[in-house]
Amino acid sequence: MWKRDDSSGAAASHQNPPPPAPIARDAADKLVMNLGKSVMIKGELSGSEDLTLYGRMEGSVKLPEFTLTSGPDAERDLARAAAERGIGFLDAPVSGSIAPARAGTLTALVGGSEADLERARPALEAMTKAQHHLGGVGSGAVMKLALNTMIAVTNEAISELLVLCERSGLERAAAYAALADSALASPFVQYKQAAYLAPDDEPVGFTPKLMLKDLALAYELAAEVGAELPAVEAAREVLERTIAAGRGDEDLVRVADTLRDGAA
């Protein structure tokens, strides 16, 4: 495993195998790089020769502090740097959280050439249940940002539903069970049930701080393409309150606690 310090991009620690670039030079014809920041990837690309780099998956659900997303422009910059070294490049962020990652049922959101995707597909299939080719490099990042805005809004809506039901005298578990069996049920509703009902007993999947960072990237993209995000703005405001309340490094479901505090 190769771990880098999140603030500087400098190597923090490693154990066998060595960092990606030497592996790339010496042995690999495919390399999946799973790092937190674009600057880290740029560093690992330097010096790589005779390598086709396929399937870069942004973020790690096993290490929540590295579950990060980049914007499409950063991915395109990396693809150009890779092309200069004869390296094929895919941006392939994933959709899913801890349980899907452990089960190998994440969804890959792929940007890049069809040829590179087909050559990379065996590696991606080992980690994901589906690989959606969305267009050129950067398309995966766009889709990931769009999905994360919906996660933020969905998390806000579920939190509001629970608090409204609780204040009206319903048991939290009963209300969630009804939601999970309703027309509004989704994989997110299903796999986050335990976290919403007993957040102290569940691992952190994604934090308010990281979501706020992703929403900032989404706002930048929306400004570039002329899209409005009014529902996202409402979710962002409560995320900021959640961070201010000291819950920024806990799970997103703590937004419900922020609403509970406000409704008390």
Active site residues: 144
CA-based nearest residue to 147, from 209, 202, 221, 77: 221
DSSP the chain: -EEE-TTT--EEEE-SS--HHHHHHHT-S------SSHHHHHHHHTT--S-----B----SSSGGG-----HHHHHHHHHHHHTTT----B--EE--HHHHHHT-EEEEEES-HHHHHHHHHHHHTTEEEEEEEESTTHHHHHHHHHHHHHHHHHHHHHHHHHHHHHTT--HHHHHHHHHTSTT--HHHHHTHHHHH-GGGS---S-HHHHHHHHHHHHHHHHHHT---HHHHHHHHHHHHHIIIIITTS-GGGHHHHHHHHH-
